[in-house]
Structure 1
Amino acid sequence: MPTSRADRRRATEARILDSARELFAEKGFDRTTIRAVAAAAGVDPALVMQYFGSKRELFTAAVQAVPVPPAGADTDALVDQLLATLGLKLGGLPEGTLAMMRSMLTDPAAADHARGTLGRQIDSVGAALPPSATDPELRAALVVSTLLGVAIGHQLLSLPPLRDAPAEHVAALLRPAIEALTAPPR
């Protein structure tokens, strides 16, 4: 049980993000409300706004944050969190995020923003890999790029096999590849 004020704040923020991830993945951006996230997290809606500012900022934090499992945890927790984030992205991205993704190949500012966001995700995944993992930054970049590619194929290109498959099925098929990239060496 968190004891310090900072520990309680981090625990509350994590609870809000976990609830947001679940609801955004289930209902998409448009149908998820701040009130619903707050209720699921057991907090007041004003607290969600205080922590995250707006629904769009909450979504951005939920999508970008790759929770790092506690030290000593096996990679199954990391794989579960990565695939849950993919489910969130396949549940529907807000127009602002889609616009940035559409623009990242032609607009230098959008490319810089995407590079920075993806760089932070790569750093977070790399930090969560077992200390014995070889090439942790490359492995993390491959994981993040794979998940990004699936999101682009689903959200922007509307590729029928990705568009028509349930997020859980996509995640189940991807699981062995993500596990291979995140597993400790044998």
Structure 2
Amino acid sequence: MRRSSEETKAKILAVARERFAADGYERTTIRAVATDAGIDPAMVMRYFGSKDRLFAVAAEFDLRMPDLGNVPADRLGAVLTAHFLDLWEGNEALMILLRTGVTNEVAAERMRDIFATQLGPIVMSVSRTPEDAFLRAGLAAGQILGLALCRYILRLPPVVAMSREEIIAWVAPTLQRYLTA
């Protein structure tokens, strides 16, 4: 059965996300993605041009940052902690980025770009000292990414066992300090 070009592209992306998540960037090949998608490798190259470009599109992610304009200043850390927990739960694209970002420069750059362009401006808008907003955003990202790595990738038992409320209670004060102290 023939697929439309949009269906083919969607199938390639779905398979690529699975492959990148399971095998990482280094071990994922265009040929393996094509085989899993039931197409010729030339089709993957036709739609995406390179493995780097395929990865960039497969790992495209919108953090869907909340509007913090109406959030009381003393609740910012809790709201962002809850937001990121919601994002990480079962999100394949973020898992791909996190897994591969620690060993691959293309993935690391993608992660840096997402956090700089999406988290940075949010932190700048709530920071009392805008001149160090990107430092604050970097520290907040470190806290968020460290939590995600421990809970969802490494699956450290004490962190995995924590409830959502417990994580917020522990992590929110640190994020709060990074954002507003």
Tell me whether the two structures share a fold, i.e. TM-score over 0.5. Answer: yes
> 1:114 Cα deviation (Å)?
1.1
Seen in structure 2, the aligned counterparts of structure 1 residues 164 and 89 have a Cα distance that, compared at 3 Å, is farther
> 1:76 Cα deviation (Å)?
3.1
Asked if 2 retains the 8 angstrom alpha-carbon contact of 1:89 and 1:151, the reply is: no
> 1:160 Cα deviation (Å)?
0.6
Number of the residue aligned with 2:90: 92
TM-score of the superposed pair, with normalisation by structure 1: 0.56
Asked if 1 retains the 8 angstrom alpha-carbon contact of 2:101 and 2:107, the reply is: yes
> 1:67 Cα deviation (Å)?
2.2
> Percent of pairs identical after alignment?
22
Tell whether 2:176 aligns with 1:168: no
Larger radius of gyration: 2
Number of the residue aligned with 1:183: 180
* Aligned-partner residue type, residue 91 of structure 1: E
Structure 1: any 5+ residue segments left out of the alignment? Answer: 1-56
Asked if 1 retains the 8 angstrom alpha-carbon contact of 2:151 and 2:160, the reply is: yes
> 1:115 Cα deviation (Å)?
1.4
Structure 2: any 5+ residue segments left out of the alignment? Answer: 1-57
TM-score of the superposed pair, with normalisation by structure 2: 0.57
Task: Kindly report which structure 2 residues correspond to 1:3-152, keeping only aligned pairs within 5 A, or say none.
Answer: 60-61=61-62, 64-70=63-69, 74-94=72-92, 96-132=93-129, 135-152=132-149
> 1:165 Cα deviation (Å)?
0.6
Q: Report how many aligned residue pairs link the two structures.
A: 123
> 1:178 Cα deviation (Å)?
1.6
Asked if 1 retains the 8 angstrom alpha-carbon contact of 2:88 and 2:94, the reply is: no
Seen in structure 2, the aligned counterparts of structure 1 residues 100 and 182 have a Cα distance that, compared at 3 Å, is closer
Asked if 1 retains the 8 angstrom alpha-carbon contact of 2:128 and 2:180, the reply is: no
Asked if 1 retains the 8 angstrom alpha-carbon contact of 2:101 and 2:108, the reply is: yes
> 1:141 Cα deviation (Å)?
1.2
In 1, Cα distance between the equivalents of 2:130 and 2:96? 35
> 1:91 Cα deviation (Å)?
2.6
TM-superposition CA deviations, 1:17-39 (whole Å, max 9, x none) = xxxxxxxxxxxxxxxxxxxxxxx
In 2, Cα distance between the equivalents of 1:114 and 1:90? 14
The 3-state SS of whatever aligns with 2:91 is coil
